[in-house]
Each structure stands twice: as C-alpha cells, then as structure tokens.
Amino acid sequence: MPETLATFCGSVSCTRAAVAPGLTLVGGTAESPDELTALAFNAAPPPDCPDSLQDAHVEHLGGTQYRIASGARAWLIESTAVHLHREVAERFYRAIPPRRAPWRKRVFWRLVLMAAASRAGLAALRVLRR
C-alpha cells in the first residue's frame, strides 16, 4: 500500500543535479502552504521530468520505489534515500521570540559603528585593536 510522503499545492520547482541529491522538489504543501518544503531524492531524476510541476503528490511504493504524480502524468523513481525538509523558522520564532540584546552590548556596538563612520574614528579603532 503506497505511503504519502508529501502533497504539494501550487507550483513545485524541480531541481536536477549530477550528484546526490539528484532530484529536489521544492514548494508549499497542503498541510503548510506558507512554509517551503523540500523533498530530495538520492537518485537520478526521470529524463522526462519537467522543471516545474503543479499540485504534485509523492508516494513511497515500497523498497526504493517512489511515484511523483502531477495532473495526469506520473514518474517512477528508484532512490536509496529520500530527505524531507520543512522550513519552520517562522513558526519557531513566533513561538519563541528572540531575546533582546543586553543594553551594554547595544551601546557598545552603537559607539563602535559611530566611530567607524569617520576617518578619525577608524584610526582610533585601529589603535585600540593593537
């Protein structure tokens, strides 16, 4: 029984390479349309695979066989490994906002950047660096 790996919605770019990963699909998925998802196959891409697909569906058929379907077309690919990556940075930083830098560090870097804006300040920074 086929196992669904990814259901892309919208346009999906297909990147080919001579070395692994040989084929990488990148686009938004039905579960998270705003987050980019990359699915990389450690195999040579099918020769008739286009540069982009629309609403692609990827299934694991068993063993090393995978099926990529888009519209009425489908491609079979033999891959020893498949890597699925979801870009979750936006969701992560929404849940855990970055902490603000301590005020001493902010003042220090503001002074250094102000000094670096002039020739005299740059000369002073070079002297302090030694």
* pLDDT at residue 48 in the model: 83
Residues in the chain: 130
Q: In what order do the strands lie in the sheet with 3-7?
A: 3-7, 57-62, 65-70, 73-78
User: Alpha carbon 100 to chain centroid distance?
Assistant: 26
As averages over each run of 10 residues, the pLDDT of the chain (130 residues) reads: 87 82 87 86 84 90 90 89 87 85 95 94 90
Give the position of tokens 């804006």: 117
Encoded tokens for 39: 């699915």
| pLDDT computed for residue 52 by the predictor | 87
pLDDT at residue 116 in the model: 94
For the question of whether the overall pTM of this predicted structure is more than 0.75, the answer is: no
The answer to whether the CB of 5 falls within 8 A of the CB of 46 is no
